[in-house]
Amino acid sequence: MPLDRRRFLTVTALGAAGMAAGSPRLARAQSPKAITVSHSVSTFVYGQHLVAKEKKFFEEEGVSVPSFIVPGGGARVINALTAGQAMFGLGDSNHPLKATEKGRDTTMLFATDTRCSYANIVVRKELFDKGVKTVEALADQKLVGRKAVIAATAIGSGTYVYGVYVLKQTKGPDGRSVNDHVEWVGGGASTTMLGGLKAGKFDAIMAVPEWQFAAESEGFGKPIYDVLDERAWNRVFGGPIPVTVGYALRETIEKSPDVVQAYVNACYRAQQWIRKAKDEEIVELLHKPYMDTFKRADVLKSVRYYRTIFDWDFVIDEKDYENGMKVFIPTAVEKPIPYAKAADMSFVRKAQAKYKS
């Protein structure tokens, strides 16, 4: 039956009202789910998070990161995760292992690199000139003049864990490990670490790339162990290690697998973007929003450095995991944690299948 004008207007109005009532629900269904994501400091070692946010990969995967939780230390990142303040963390692989050992099962989802960028050892230039040009020489008190004082950022930190391992794997002139001949101290952050080395308070420091660059360019330090030297790295560590990893609580994976997949997808896409982008393009994207306290030239140098150690496929191989476990026991964790319990590569495999390069 044909509609008269009044019935037509009524039906049209009801239809419009229904659409109006439904549209907010539709919008809510399509809006990205906010997630909480943490890393210790906003530098290029955690570039996967930064790129994923700036390139809007998180939103394209159906989640959003309003802002990062940046507490200033890897131990604080895992604490934020286990306390429920963060759903995902990106940091040193020993931290999720420690959480698991303490009863909060935490799973590694991917690895972003294959070598530890803060296992570098930089010695005072004065000692280098006297002949302390190798890790072995740190054990020679005749050269050092005393028991060598080596600074990590803090006792128990990642720099300490890796530094102790390098020294334990290196023999001094008497055949004992170099670690038996040194004194470890906490050196703090950039200013105090570099200031202590320059003033002679420390004989050597564990150094992130930026500290190594600064000590060399300012003329008060020289590297005696450099992780970019593949032969030196393999001599100590025996091959690649998943050092920096993305992780989440096991309960998060079980309750929200779709959200976990979205997070992994976004980070994987960021890694592939970094792989293909020009160095200057990366600096242009990240310098101003995250690293403007550093000189642009230093950020560029950092980008070029990390390109050499980034793990482009994101996969944690069991052999590489076991290499890492050798480093962590007993300095970081007391007992081995099986690979099957510690890592879940299913999300990375799905990301790879979806985004074939």
CATH number for the domain that contains residue 338:
3.40.190.10
| pLDDT at 17 (0 to 100) | 41
The tally of CA atoms less than 13 A away on the side-chain side of residue 315 is: 10
One domain, residues 188 and 296: no
The CA-atom distances, in angstroms, between 41 and each of 70, 74, 176, 304 are 6, 9, 37, 19
* Phi and psi, residue 211, nearest 5°: -70, -40
One domain, residues 306 and 283: yes
One domain, residues 130 and 225: yes
Of 210, 237, 264, the residue at which a domain comes to its end is: 237
Of 182, 203, 237, the residue at which a domain comes to its end is: 237
How is residue 179 annotated by DSSP? G
How is residue 221 annotated by DSSP? E
The CA-atom distances, in angstroms, between 323 and each of 93, 94, 116, 236 are 12, 12, 12, 10
The rounded distance, in Å, linking the Cα atoms of 318 and 339 is 6
Q: Is 268 among the domain residues?
A: yes
Nearest partner of 228 among 101, 112, 119, judged by Cα: 119
The rounded distance, in Å, linking the Cα atoms of 96 and 106 is 5
Through-space distance between the first and last CA atoms of the chain, rounded to whole angstroms: 59
Question: Is 217 buried (19+), middle (13-18) or exposed (0-12) by CB count in 10 A?
Answer: exposed
One domain, residues 144 and 279: no
Q: Which two tokens stand for residue 220?
A: 């008060």
205 pairs with which residues across the strands?
122, 151
151 pairs with which residues across the strands?
185, 205
One domain, residues 108 and 152: no
Of 211, 237, 263, the residue at which a domain comes to its end is: 237
Q: Report the domain count for the chain.
A: 2
* Host domain of residue 106: 33-114+241-354
The residues of the chain scoring below 70 in pLDDT are: 1-30, 357
One domain, residues 216 and 311: no
Q: Is 26 among the domain residues?
A: no
Which strands form 120-124's sheet, in the order they lie side by side? 182-186, 148-152, 204-207, 120-124, 221-225
One domain, residues 230 and 125: yes
| pLDDT at 265 (0 to 100) | 98
User: Whose structure tokens read 């570039």?
Assistant: 47
In the chain, % helix, strand, coil (3-state, to 5) comes to 55, 15, 30
One domain, residues 245 and 266: yes
One domain, residues 154 and 219: yes
Q: Which two tokens stand for residue 189?
A: 């952050």
One domain, residues 124 and 232: yes
One domain, residues 217 and 299: no
| pLDDT at 357 (0 to 100) | 60
Q: Is 21 among the domain residues?
A: no
One domain, residues 125 and 162: yes
